[in-house]
Chain A
Amino acid sequence: MSDILNSTPGTTTEGSTHGVRILLEAVEKNYRGQAAPAVNGLTLEVPAGKIVAFVGPSGCGKTTTLKMINRLIEPTKGRIMLGDDDVTDIDGDQLRRRIGYVIQAGGLFPHMTVEANIAMVPKMLGWDKKRISARVDELLELVSLDPKLYRRRYPKQLSGGQQQRVGVARALAADPPVLLMDEPFGAVDPITRQRLQDELLRIQDDVQKTIVFVTHDFDEAVKLGDWIAIFSEGARLVQYDTPERILADPANEFVEDFIGSGAGLKQLTLTRVNEVTLGDVITAQAGEASSAVLSRLDAAGHDNVVVVDDRNRPTQWLSRRQLQRTATVDNRIDDDLPVVGIRATLHDALDTMLASAVGAALVVGRRDTLLGVVDVSVVTDAISAARAAAVEAPAPDAPIGTNTSAIDTVPQPHGVDTAPSAALARSSDTGAGDDR
């Protein structure tokens, strides 16, 4: 009937099924006895192979929207497309076997072993035992659980984070092109949550699924989402854009409130040290005469010198005063140097800077070799550049996202730019796929 339903999922991650585009076309959900529709004429595209985060206050319809994708909730009106296939009217159970689904705490069956839980969907699809067993091993390794140790355990013998991992493994079992996640990391502690988020990003690098992720935590959406859809009451799509652009240019006061304070700080987590222009440093080797180093500092107008070893790895960071006290540069190794890696976010860099005596952080690349320095001016320049870029250059591949018959429930404040965001306006222009 359709490519999605007939495709034979690969048994290895190398040959795994990549994500397909999801398109909700003017979907609507009315509950009996409720005047206002839970979801009202929503048209939304989720690009193939991307992570889209649905955020919004509780009761805004984001979970309802998610559950309409795998038809756990049947839409009252509208169509659902997966790739090029219309899945609005096919058998719901068959559809759901081809869409991964993860809920809070994994939703594991407590009376089944980890192995049996993961094997559920492949069994329903009629895989043979050998293939299922190999797949279970492969998936447990993918989510960083040793198959030998965990296969035969029961969910109650796992920690919350481990249960969540098994939940993700189960959702990926039949290698579905699409993964739906309903606040999956809501029930774990903050440290575990962060680890699971990093893990999800790593797994996504491998498997390239189309992931829809519901959360009420905006920071989580910023971290995980390639795109963020912000909903208000009635699943009204308020803004659908990249995290960078939402932070730099919130569509209205509702979005601003939702982002909360510290939009600038959140932006810091989106930029990595290797994306900014680093400051220069003066370097010296152990054993050099202090006077020579001081004259180099004078010439460059710097106040500090970085002492490096023979492989260009920083060992000390000396001020003029420290230099003047000795005749030659010594070969001590300072263990508390403020150093960040090239893949660190500006947020991490700023954190390191604030703790350092110099008020800046050294950046090291491969094998800890010195690349330069990052200080407050580098960070502020990077942020204003990122903001300007985000506002001026809209993403060229922005997905469709509109409300075809939206009721405006967001109060429009005075004195604030309440025009629809550039993304929404653009989306309407390019919304050739919808049926308006």
Chain B
Amino acid sequence: MGDYLEGSLDRILFSSWQHFSVVVQCLILAAVIAVGLAVLVYRTGWLRGVADNVSAVGLTIPSFALIGILIVPFGFGVTPAVIVLTFFAALPILRNAVVGLTSIDPALVESARGIGMSRAGILLKVELPLAWPVILAGIRISAQMIMGVAAVAAYALGPGLGGFIFSGLSRLGGANSFNSVVTGVVAVVILAIILDLLLLGLGRLTTSRGIRV
């Protein structure tokens, strides 16, 4: 095991970095899309219901199957991986953003209108800051989830640590095959923990002291 790690350290570090990078980028993309969608739907009752159902049903789709389906139009490579990761990451964020935006005390929003804030001003200065802790909780859930999905995405020859796991599994019993799988899994877990800590720190920095619990 030690020899294996020493021998392929460069490859492990590079793949870890790729894995982390693709997860973070998809997470950011997903957050922007999900919050945008939430802003569009949160004030209309039936659209809220649709968003809720989509995020519930969407999460039941097996990620492996979705990647397989996407390979047909997009071929192997980064594109299907990014689409799948962003799709799965967006679902919990969308759900949390809708909940966060709708659970704001209506009296506060009216108070904001009453002092002459515009619709956009209320959204940017009152509603989103107040919903932010809930949205961020959604982002953390997504981060954990797609860290694992990203490994599966290696099936479509996407970047990251999935390669270690798949190549190991495909030649199980062969030289270093078990080491390869374990390395991939452990590295994914370590990256997940690091990202969660970073998001926790981000939450501390970006949540007003007035609404921290």
Chain B proximity mask over A65-107: 1 for CB below 8 Å, otherwise 0:
0000010100000000000000000000111111101011101
CA distance A110 to B209 in the complex (A): 9
The 11 listed contacts between A and B (C-beta, < 8 Å) are: A70-B114, A96-B113, A97-B115, A107-B108, A108-B111, A110-B108, A110-B130, A110-B208, A111-B208, A121-B116, A170-B115
For residue A432, give the distance in angstroms from its CB to the closest CB of chain B: 32
The answer to whether A112 touches B116, judged by C-beta atoms less than 8 angstroms apart, is no
The answer to whether A107 touches B107, judged by C-beta atoms less than 8 angstroms apart, is yes
Q: Is B65 located at the chain interface by the 8 A CB criterion? A: no
The chain A residue with its CB closest to the CB of B132 is: A111
Q: Is B118 located at the chain interface by the 8 A CB criterion? A: yes
A107 contacts which chain B residues (CB < 8 A)?
107-108, 110-112, 114
Q: Is A120 located at the chain interface by the 8 A CB criterion? A: yes
CA distance A72 to B108 in the complex (A): 13
B129 contacts which chain A residues (CB < 8 A)?
111
For residue B128, give the distance in angstroms from its CB to the closest CB of chain A: 10
Known: A107-B107, A107-B110, A111-B129. A101 touches B115 (CB 8 A): yes
Q: Is B117 located at the chain interface by the 8 A CB criterion? A: yes
The answer to whether A103 touches B111, judged by C-beta atoms less than 8 angstroms apart, is yes
Q: Which of B116, B118, B130, B209 has the most CB of A within 10 A?
A: B116
The answer to whether B116 touches A109, judged by C-beta atoms less than 8 angstroms apart, is no
Known: A93-B116, A110-B130, A124-B117. A101 touches B111 (CB 8 A): yes
B126 contacts which chain A residues (CB < 8 A)?
109
For the complex of A and B, list the 10 residue pairs with the smallest distance between their C-beta atoms, beginning with the closest. A107-B111, A154-B210, A97-B116, A101-B114, A96-B116, A111-B208, A111-B210, A111-B211, A93-B116, A111-B129
B120-156: which have CB < 8 Å to A? Answer: 121, 126, 129-130
For residue B44, give the distance in angstroms from its CB to the closest CB of chain A: 17
Q: Is A156 located at the chain interface by the 8 A CB criterion? A: yes
Besides A104-B107, A120-B115, A124-B121, 15 other CB < 8 A contacts? A70-B114, A72-B110, A93-B117, A96-B113, A98-B116, A99-B116, A101-B111, A103-B107, A103-B111, A105-B107, A107-B107, A107-B114, A111-B208, A121-B115, A155-B210
The answer to whether A112 touches B107, judged by C-beta atoms less than 8 angstroms apart, is no
CA distance A307 to B118 in the complex (A): 68
Known: A94-B116, A97-B115, A120-B117. A103 touches B110 (CB 8 A): yes
Chain A proximity mask over B95-120: 1 for CB below 8 Å, otherwise 0:
00000000000011011111111100
B110 contacts which chain A residues (CB < 8 A)?
72, 103, 107
For residue A341, give the distance in angstroms from its CB to the closest CB of chain B: 39
Query: B-contacting residues of A (Cβ < 8 Å)?
Result: 70, 72, 93-99, 101, 103-105, 107-113, 120-121, 124, 154-156, 170-171, 180
The answer to whether A103 touches B210, judged by C-beta atoms less than 8 angstroms apart, is no
CA distance A104 to B106 in the complex (A): 12
The chain B residue with its CB closest to the CB of A120 is: B115
CA distance A124 to B118 in the complex (A): 10
B161-204: which have CB < 8 Å to A? Answer: none
For residue B199, give the distance in angstroms from its CB to the closest CB of chain A: 19
Known: A96-B116, A97-B116. A112 touches B111 (CB 8 A): no
Q: Which of B107, B111, B118 has the most CB of A within 10 A?
A: B111
The count of chain B contact residues (Cβ–Cβ below 8 Å) is: 19
CA distance A98 to B115 in the complex (A): 8
B211 contacts which chain A residues (CB < 8 A)?
110-111, 156
The answer to whether A72 touches B113, judged by C-beta atoms less than 8 angstroms apart, is yes
For residue A393, give the distance in angstroms from its CB to the closest CB of chain B: 39
Q: Which of A98, A154, A155, A170 has the most CB of B within 10 A?
A: A154
CA distance A170 to B116 in the complex (A): 12
The chain A residue with its CB closest to the CB of B112 is: A109
The answer to whether A154 touches B208, judged by C-beta atoms less than 8 angstroms apart, is yes
CA distance A98 to B112 in the complex (A): 13
The answer to whether A156 touches B107, judged by C-beta atoms less than 8 angstroms apart, is no
A103 contacts which chain B residues (CB < 8 A)?
107, 110-111, 114
A104 contacts which chain B residues (CB < 8 A)?
107
CA distance A341 to B152 in the complex (A): 84
The answer to whether B114 touches A113, judged by C-beta atoms less than 8 angstroms apart, is no
B130 contacts which chain A residues (CB < 8 A)?
109-111
CA distance A308 to B58 in the complex (A): 89
CA distance A223 to B107 in the complex (A): 26
A108 contacts which chain B residues (CB < 8 A)?
111
The chain B residue with its CB closest to the CB of A98 is: B116
CA distance A61 to B33 in the complex (A): 42
CA distance A97 to B118 in the complex (A): 10
Known: A103-B107, A110-B130, A111-B130. A96 touches B210 (CB 8 A): no
CA distance A156 to B210 in the complex (A): 7
The answer to whether B116 touches A124, judged by C-beta atoms less than 8 angstroms apart, is yes
B111 contacts which chain A residues (CB < 8 A)?
101, 103, 107-109
The chain B residue with its CB closest to the CB of A109 is: B126
The answer to whether A95 touches B208, judged by C-beta atoms less than 8 angstroms apart, is no
B113 contacts which chain A residues (CB < 8 A)?
72, 96
For residue A26, give the distance in angstroms from its CB to the closest CB of chain B: 24
B116 contacts which chain A residues (CB < 8 A)?
93-99, 121, 124
